[in-house]
Amino acid sequence: MTGVNRKLGILLSGRGSNFEAIHRAIAAGTLDAEIAVVISNREAAPGIETARRFGLKTVVMPSQGVPREQFDRELVRVLNDHQVGLVCLAGYMRLLSGYFVQAFPQRIVNIHPSLLPSFPGLDAQHQAFDYGVKFTGCTVHFVDEHLDNGPIILQAVVPVEEGDTYDTLSARILAEEHKIYSKAIGIILSGAYRIEGRRVVSVS
């Protein structure tokens, strides 16, 4: 598709390994996109330091104590200032307001460390491990007003092995996250899909 806005706005709150994986995919030429800005709602997020080191445009917007919609209005303004076409949540640990979601209709994606709709919310890896499932994984999905909801773009399955600990399982899930997030972004930017109800269907 021509004229697609390939400028990504990355939102993160912590480590930023998914952001780094997206950055690597772009550098390797496997993802045709550009990171226009990396925004953190936490000053101490290691991911924002990494983004600075990479020479990317960074913005820190402390969110603590700021009313959700007021914060999100400012966030939308910053993303628009950078002409962002696709917002990528990469470990962004803050609920988005309806205002934000409506500002970027079907233009916000999130990665979650479980096979949704199982184990939404915080620490999905712990939830899955403690529940005793034999398979878990990760999900890239469009973001709507509800937590870890929205049409699913890609998922990867990770088997839970005998002898797994929370740490070994989390590490294998994370390795899959790093693969499918860039792939899902590539699908969206290709425009070769349509959304039918909750289903994201490929079109050729």
Residues of this chain that bind ligand GAR (CB under 6 A): 12, 14-18, 47, 90-91, 111-113, 124, 148, 174, 177
Q: Which residue is nearest to ligand GAR (CB)?
A: 91
Q: State in angstroms the smallest separation of the CB of 194 from ligand GAR.
A: 26
Residue for token pair 């706005």:
9
Residue number with CB closer to ligand GAR (107 or 110): 110
Q: What would the 3-class secondary structure string for 34-52 be?
A: EEEEEEECCCCCHHHHHHH
Residue 20 or 74 with smaller CB distance to ligand GAR: 20
In the three-class reduction of DSSP (H, G, I as helix; E, B as strand; rest coil), residue 138 is classed as strand
User: For residue 116, which amino acid is it?
Assistant: L
Least distance (Å) from ligand GAR to the CB of residue 82? 20
Q: How far apart are CA 133 and CA 128, in angstroms?
A: 6
Instruction: Give yes or no for a cis peptide into 46 (omega within 30° of 0).
Output: no
The residue length of the chain stands at: 204
Pairing of strands 193-196, 199-202: antiparallel
Q: How far is the CB of 54 from ligand GAR (least distance, A)?
A: 15
Pick between residue 76 and residue 125 the one whose CB is nearest to ligand GAR. Answer: 125
Of 15 and 68, which CB lies nearer to ligand GAR in the complex structure? 15
Question: Given the structure tokens 């021509």, which residue do they identify?
Answer: 2
Look up 146 and say whether it is catalytic: no
- The single residue of 112, 141, 146, 178 carrying the catalytic annotation is 112
Catalytic residues: 112
